[in-house]
Structure 1
Amino acid sequence: MSPTLTAENIVTGYGKQEIVHGVSLSAEAGKITCIFGPNGCGKSTLLKAIAGALPVWSGRASLGDATLSNLAVHEVVRQGLVLMPQGGGVFPRLTVMENLRMGGYAIADRRLVEQRIEALIEQYPSLARRRRTAAGSLSGGEQAMLALARALVSQPRFILLDEPSAGLSPAMVIETLERITTLTAHGIGIVMVEQNIREAMPIADKLYILAAGERRFEGRPRDVRDDRQIMDIYMGGA
């Protein structure tokens, strides 16, 4: 049976400031779970806590039977969970190949890493042509592809995506979301924070809406009538 990613009553923040106030969610393998909400509501903070980039003050994140809460990031990666931060988080001074190798940093077998990279890069022809090019000189769309390819090097069971369409042209938004959708056909679960609601809704299997650090809605896209209802939820209404 494929594992489920769960967050139970997660409380976390920065310094002494609590940002996320007891949020719970669950995501299935091979499905896309979207998290919407206004800026500053704790969406990115929640993803970072689940991925080990921030400490969980209370509550629990788990992948199947494995508890993720407060593991080091590389240990979370070994459990099968990868975070792709907003903007992709590529290393601009490193080449395309060097960035891809960073995706395998938690894997001890370097030969295996190289084999995976070669298999992956064939799926991204524009990256294959620019193996030795510094990532910072790539277009925004190419950097998005590189970040996604790098996330796949560890062969994760789940990928957390923080606004993967941010800063992309409309055409690249569509292409990026299509690539994300194809990952689910291979059984990879996606948890995606997005501001581009109209583009993300059609590919979502499940959605959550956060506001002021709290979960305000859980359901399916068809459970939401229109954008006005989403805004009502943002503002604390029904």
Structure 2
Amino acid sequence: MSTLVADSVVAGYGKQEIVHGVSLVAEAGKITCIFGPNGCGKSTLLKAIAGALPVWGGTIGLGGETISNLPVHEVVRQGLVLMPQGGGVFPRLTVMENLRMGGYAIADRKLVDGRIEALVDQYPSLARRRKTTAGALSGGEQAMLALARALVSEPRFILLDEPSAGLSPAMVSETLERIKVLTARGIGVLMVEQNIREAMPIADRLYILAAGEKRFEGTPGDVRNDRQIMDIYMGGA
């Protein structure tokens, strides 16, 4: 079973260090959540793990292989893909064109086309809107498209940066349920999320960051109540 390991990762932007030696472990077939206040380094950590930002210190390992500072397309080929905040769909491209972008790191185009057709069968609303530009889709449909696009490369792990952001309460529940279904396929999920109440029930393990440092790690059962989470956010318990 594959494991994603971040060991004492240091990362940031320009000369500003944002993440200060954070370590975590995420397992295949499970959902690992990262919580924390705005600006604490959650998204920076996720981007560093995905290769979208350089790792200044520490290492990233996937399935026993070091992937630190590999080009993003090589990270994808290793089986790890990032779905950025807001999904990152290309608004002027059609649904099918967006899905093909998910297979950019795969040389075999027939293989990509076959995977896309299989995914479209799983998402009927996308099948009906194959030629529609992504910008014309609803927020929920864009979230669905982004998730389907991430699956084209058949990753071992998906990194999700606030997948519920901007969605209606009903769509938040539906989106998180779709994410939970991925684990049944053996895919590991490492997810940054602000909607703690919705994410906690599907999390297998969680980490809490504050000021760029890990303040807590454990299972949802290890968290007593909302007060404990807020205390951690503020640098207490």
| TM-score for the superposition, normalised by structure 1 | 0.99
Aligned residues: 237
- 2:31 is the counterpart of 1:37: no
Counterpart in 2 of 1:61? 60
**SS across alignment from 2:58:** strand
**SS across alignment from 1:13:** strand
- 2:11 is the counterpart of 1:8: no
Deviation readout 1:200-237 (Å, 9 max, x if unpaired): 00000000000000000000000001111000000011
**AA aligned opposite 2:47:** K
**SS across alignment from 1:122:** helix
**SS across alignment from 2:186:** coil
**AA aligned opposite 2:154:** Q
Q: Within 5 Å, which residues of 2 pair with 1:136-147? A: 136-147=135-146
The structural deviation recorded for 1:64 is: 1.2
Q: Within 5 Å, which residues of 2 pair with 1:1-238? A: 2-238=1-237
Whole-Å separation in 1 of the counterparts to 2:129 and 2:84: 23
Deviation readout 1:55-90 (Å, 9 max, x if unpaired): 000100010121111000000000000000000000
Whole-Å separation in 1 of the counterparts to 2:100 and 2:93: 10
C-alpha RMSD over aligned residues: 0.4
Deviation readout 1:121-149 (Å, 9 max, x if unpaired): 11111100000000000000000000000
**AA aligned opposite 1:78:** R
**SS across alignment from 1:127:** helix
Whole-Å separation in 2 of the counterparts to 1:72 and 1:65: 18
Whole-Å separation in 1 of the counterparts to 2:135 and 2:39: 27
**SS across alignment from 2:122:** coil
Whole-Å separation in 1 of the counterparts to 2:99 and 2:152: 7
**Any stretches of 5+ residues in structure 1 without a counterpart?**
none
| TM-score for the superposition, normalised by structure 2 | 1.00
Deviation readout 1:164-194 (Å, 9 max, x if unpaired): 0000000000000000000000000000000
The structural deviation recorded for 1:19 is: 0.2
**AA aligned opposite 1:29:** A
**AA aligned opposite 2:162:** E
**AA aligned opposite 1:54:** L
Runs of 4+ in 1 over 6 A off after TM superposition: none
